[in-house]
Chain A
Amino acid sequence: MTDRRRINGPVGATFPPVFVYEGEDAVKETKKTRSRPPNAIRKMYLKTGVTPSASGSAYLEIETSAKGSGSGLKLSCTVHGPRSLPRSTPFSPHIILSTHVKYAPFATRQRRGYLRDSTERDLGTHLETALRGAIIADRWPKSGVDIIISIIEGDQDRESSKAEGDESWDMMNALSGCITVASAALADAGIDCVDTVAGGVAALVRNAADDSVSNIVIDPVPSEHEKILAACCIAYLPTRDEVTNLWFKGDLGASDMELYTSLVEKGIQASKYANRVLVECLGETVG
């Protein structure tokens, strides 16, 4: 059943172009190397107030990885509210958060549809959990706030052959960006929070295919590592030293508690770095 409220295009299926490289155009098999030290995040640019018609808004851009083939993350977030809920809604003693994350059709390698898929809904749920811990919700009874994030450009490598099955790791980076940008937009909207929450990602990676040594890096870019074994996305409140959301993915031996702890610690480290950018940006907004 096609959506008649949109322009759907041709009836027959269309395919994204498949590239073939020949002769000197052939892709040189580059070794996957990380462009920065293991405990450094990529540069990010954060700006509030990009959408004047919303109560609060922010834009986040994370620098393209050095190789040039990847694209940096570009997020735009708007906050609408706090405002009264419709009359039919039952009484709520605290503010009702609704989060909405959507990839733009041109954000990723494959063209995305306009309906939200499970990935996007998943991101929305995680984002809500992360923010709920930061907002002082009982200051606004019977009201609601909408937080809408459009992912204008996903964090993906352009060559599809290299990065198969990396989508799940891209989600981690997207979520950490979403948390940071939503936090900035909430502050721009003037919604009281206990602290500024920021997201950070740490991952356990293996750099060479035959290497059995794995190490922990923060802010991983899937195309820069041979294999990502596990990753963890953390939403962290620095002044309270509290984690509001923890999302862990990958496979890791159940016996190695040390590794789990250090992965979370590195995640917190990454989120502290992001928080520094956030605070600086908000300082510019207020001052």
Chain B
Amino acid sequence: MDTPPTLSLSRSTFAKLSPHPYLVANLTGQGRSKSNSSPACCRTNGRTPQQARPLQVHPSSLTHAHGSALVRNGDTTVICGVRAEILPVSNIPQYRPRSHGEVDSDSSSSSRELRDYDLLVPNIELATGCATQFLPGVPPTTLAQTLSTRVYSLLHSCHLVDAADLRIWHNPKDSSSSEAANAQDKMDEDEDANSHKEEDAEPQLMAYWVLYIDLLFVSFDGNPFDAAWTAVLAALHDTKLPSARWDPDREMIVCSPPTRSLRLSGLPIACTAAIFVEKEHGDTGGRHWILLDPDRLEETLCREVVTMVVDCSDGETRVRAIEKHGGTVIGRELIRAFAGVAEKRWTEVQKSAFLTDK
């Protein structure tokens, strides 16, 4: 691992020819001219290992979606649109009726509802030409499928959305009284009797809202999961559902303008780092670096990736998910240390993206 100090190649050529030694040379500070006063440990993109790229979030940028956000994390750009559609209970196979008074005994019953009826549908589209390896015309790549599934399982496991927000109730009492107040349609006597009979009827659950969460990568430069998850969060924060009610005359669900925001519990934020080892081949030995928010070059050179989802919104740090793929460097100690990094990242993201909501 001895890079000659007089490097006759230009930076970009060196990076293309042998990316691994190039990254090592950058991180160890070899081959850097003495006049350069930058810190010794620096990545190819000029960041320090624990420095993430600046994050920009623009909510409500789309007209046709119920909630949307554009997230830009360095050169990775994602657009997320949340679209709500109505799923009548009659269309649900194996539907278990639910009475109005029934209280969610714990969050698990709510999340079971979300999961069993498939009320959250995240999909990630990478094949938009966002990078050379993702061209359209082919079925979703492994990466796209993995990302969709990871977002899907994280949405369910961290109980972000409450199923109560997605239920559409029909309360016979309310609708008859409001119709009386309107006094527009004159009821016949037998119809009147009908409505009286309905008055002691229990409120009925008529339908659910289904949230189609579609993500489109406009530009891809590493760390897709963090960007996608932030976009999902921001779009869900932005989502406003219209107030829906069952119209007995039309026998369908109709909506009217007053909208309400979706209530989200907590603010789990993902933080990804790649572990770069000094030795290109062989498993052990050598130094390693934990590179936060890796870009495309770094991602291709690292085998081990760790993602931690933390939520500090209620004062203390809660780890919502830990994922680690490949490699053997990260052990118990490093995971614990990484929680601190994730916590710092949480504050950063919260400041740049979600502070106005709070």
Contacts and interface: CB of A to CB of B under 8 A. Distances in A.
A158 interface: yes
B218 to A, nearest CB: 5
Contacts of B93: 11-12
A64 to B, nearest CB: 8
A15 B140 contact: no
A106 B65 contact: yes
A98 B135 CA distance: 11
Interface stretch (A49-57, A168-176, A270-278): A49-57
B87 A12 contact: yes
Contacts of A148: 128-129, 135-136
B256 A25 contact: yes
| Interface residue tally on A, bucketed by range | 35 or more
Given A7-B152, A78-B129, A106-B83, A152 B216 contact: yes
A21 B254 CA distance: 10
Interface in A1-47: 3, 5-22, 25
B291 interface: no
Contacts of B152: 7
Interface in B230-244: 242, 244
A153 interface: yes
Nearest to A59: B218
B68 interface: yes
Interface residues of B, number: 58
A18 B99 CA distance: 25
Interface in A139-172: 146, 148, 150, 152-154, 156, 158
A-side interface mostly: loop
A34 B122 CA distance: 39
Contacts of A52: 75, 219, 221
B15 to A, nearest CB: 15
A105 interface: yes
A111 interface: yes
A108 interface: yes
B219 A51 contact: yes
Contact of B85 (A11, A51, A111, A154): A111
Interface in B171-188: none
A12 B79 CA distance: 27
10 contacts: A3-B139, A9-B118, A10-B91, A10-B117, A12-B92, A18-B255, A21-B257, A76-B128, A100-B136, A111-B212
Give the 10 A-B residue pairs with the shortest CB-CB distance, closest first: A12-B91, A106-B81, A148-B129, A71-B63, A9-B121, A78-B129, A14-B85, A105-B214, A51-B219, A17-B255
